[in-house]
Amino acid sequence: QVQLVESGGGLVQPGGSLRLSCAASGNILSINTMAWYRRAPGSQRELVAHITNSGYTDYGESAKGRFTISTDNLKKTGYLQMNNLKPEDTAVYYCHANLQDGDWSFTDYWGQGTQVTVSS
């Protein structure tokens, strides 16, 4: 079955970096779009970054200049490179993807989330 699995979260010092991965498994032809969201304690879910199949990207205001989203359609994997991390980046990060399945239809999927903690 089709599945999205995030990895790469953990504990980092302020100013450090992490790269999150979002791997799609199953009978997948391509990644149409991918996005990263996060939910901090006591906060609403927030869009962090989004990318289309043409390579167009957009970012939430808190991510601009620090985070970069990318996809690798050969590996069927997306990435979120996070630099200059701050304590306010602490959250559970979720991958969302619109994928083209083996039957050529498009379907939305969510990953299970990965914890990012920025603390000294």
pLDDT at 1: 87
Contact 111, 4 (CB under 8 A): yes
pLDDT at 107: 96
- Name residues of the chain where pLDDT drops below 70: none
pLDDT at 43: 94
Q: Write the DSSP symbol of residue 104.
A: S
Rounded CA separation 68/66 (Å): 7
